[in-house]
């Protein structure tokens, strides 16, 4: 077990599934854990559960965030930095898939904003706090689904306005963005200050896509394959490893599966696309 005593760790979506299991173990290892969650009732229940299971009374807090709103992301960052000078680990874990195209208050396709843009904004807003926690770690939760975005990103239609909306297609594109963002963040950062890594957690029986959000795939295929999913506890192992292990000190820009750095799909290694995504994300979020 690693020792995270005195470290401050933010986990988006830490109220459910993989994020909650990561929160339990990270709190058990001594860290102060901030659960960034959109639903106050779920957040309060998760806080009690995490504190109890991790025996970490007083070391878990919740700060509201709705990743479908840039204003909410800014409020979160303001509330966090008012309380904490440093941030040691930022675990950008929250994510969703939607059956139908939906638009956020900021006018973006919701998966694009929640899964990528808001995490991009959050990471940038917390940059100074991360620098105070140097060597800090940013961990992004992607998915093997990035592999199916074979053609890469359509930079002329990141909000999926001009194409037929395919829920898994959009999800896969946003999970590709998670890897491209990680690689560009790593390229732009001094590893003595900040490392950035990304992971696929496995096929996990969490609350993810429980409501058939993958469309036909969700309604027909998911009930058949769900029994083969691993537990959220197991799904959290790579997140915990990247947050806590001394083995990954100084390692940056890597994609991890089952605790090992592996090569992602070719489209995730496109440095030009990574730089372009960064520039566009900066404009869209007005960092």
Ligand X SMILES: NC(=O)c1ccc[n+]([C@@H]2O[C@H](COP(=O)([O-])OP(=O)(O)OC[C@H]3O[C@@H](n4cnc5c(N)ncnc54)[C@H](OP(=O)(O)O)[C@@H]3O)[C@@H](O)[C@H]2O)c1
- Give the residue numbers marked as catalytic: 171
Query: Is residue 232 a contact partner of residue 206, using CB atoms and an 8 Å limit?
Result: yes
Provide the phi-psi class of 188: left if phi over 0, else alpha when psi is between -120 and 50, else beta. Answer: alpha
* Site residues (CB under 6 A) for ligand X, limited to 83-112: 93-96
Expressed in percent and rounded to 5, the helix, strand and coil fractions of the chain are 50, 15, 35
Q: Smallest gap, in angstroms, from Cβ of residue 139 to ligand X? A: 11
Residue 218 engages ligand X in binding (rule: CB under 6 A): no
Residue 35 engages ligand X in binding (rule: CB under 6 A): no
Nearer CB in complex with ligand X: 148/207? 207
Nearer CB in complex with ligand X: 6/150? 150
- Measured in whole angstroms, the distance separating CA 213 from the mean position of its chain's CA atoms is 19
Q: Smallest gap, in angstroms, from Cβ of residue 235 to ligand X? A: 6
Residue 16 engages ligand X in binding (rule: CB under 6 A): yes
Residue 242 engages ligand X in binding (rule: CB under 6 A): no
Q: Smallest gap, in angstroms, from Cβ of residue 261 to ligand X? A: 17
Tell me whether strands 89-92 and 194-200 are parallel, antiparallel or unpaired: unpaired
Residue 285 engages ligand X in binding (rule: CB under 6 A): no
Cα separation of 139 and 242, whole Å?
7
SS3 assignment, position 62: strand
Residue 23 engages ligand X in binding (rule: CB under 6 A): no
Contact window for ligand X (CB under 6 A) among 48-56, 146-154, 196-204, 258-266: 196-204
Virtual CA dihedral for 80, 70, 154, 102, nearest 10 degrees? 120
Nearer CB in complex with ligand X: 136/177? 177
Nearer CB in complex with ligand X: 260/271? 260
Tokens of 105: 């208050």
**Nearest by Cα to 158 from 136, 187, 180:** 180
- Measured in whole angstroms, the distance separating CA 30 from the mean position of its chain's CA atoms is 22
Size of the site for ligand X (CB under 6 A): 28
Residues lying near ligand X in the complex (CB under 6 A) = 13, 15-19, 37-39, 42, 65-68, 93-96, 114, 141, 143, 200-201, 203-204, 206-208
């Amino acid at each position: 077990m690693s020792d995270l005593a005195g470290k401050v760790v933010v986990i988006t979506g830490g109220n459910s599934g993989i994020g909650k299991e990561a929160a339990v173990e990270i709190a058990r290892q001594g860290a102060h854990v901030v659960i960034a969650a959109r639903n106050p009732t779920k957040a309060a229940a998760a806080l009690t559960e995490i504190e109890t299971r991790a025996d970490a009374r007083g070391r878990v807090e919740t700060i509201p965030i709705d990743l479908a709103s840039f204003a909410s992301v800014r409020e979160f960052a303001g509330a966090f930095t008012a309380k904490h000078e440093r941030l040691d680990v930022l675990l950008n874990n929250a994510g969703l898939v939607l059956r139908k195209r939906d638009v956020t208050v900021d006018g973006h396709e919701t998966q694009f904003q929640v899964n990528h843009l808001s995490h991009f904004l959050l990471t940038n807003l917390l940059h100074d706090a991360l620098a105070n926690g140097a060597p800090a770690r940013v961990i992004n939760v992607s998915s093997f689904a990035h592999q199916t975005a074979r053609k890469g990103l359509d930079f002329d239609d990141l909000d999926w306005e001009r194409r037929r909306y395919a829920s898994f297609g959009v999800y896969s594109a946003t999970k590709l963005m998670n890897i491209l963002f990680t690689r560009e963040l790593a390229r732009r950062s001094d590893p003595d200050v900040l490392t950035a890594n990304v992971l696929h957690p496995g096929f996990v029986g969490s609350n993810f896509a429980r409501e058939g959000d993958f469309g036909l795939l969700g309604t027909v295929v998911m009930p058949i394959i769900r029994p083969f999913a691993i537990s959220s506890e197991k799904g959290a192992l790579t997140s915990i490893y990247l947050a806590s292990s001394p083995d990954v000190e100084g390692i940056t820009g890597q994609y991890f599966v089952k605790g090992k750095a592996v090569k992602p799909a070719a489209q995730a290694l496109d440095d030009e696309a990574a730089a372009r995504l960064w520039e566009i994300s900066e404009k869209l979020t007005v960092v």
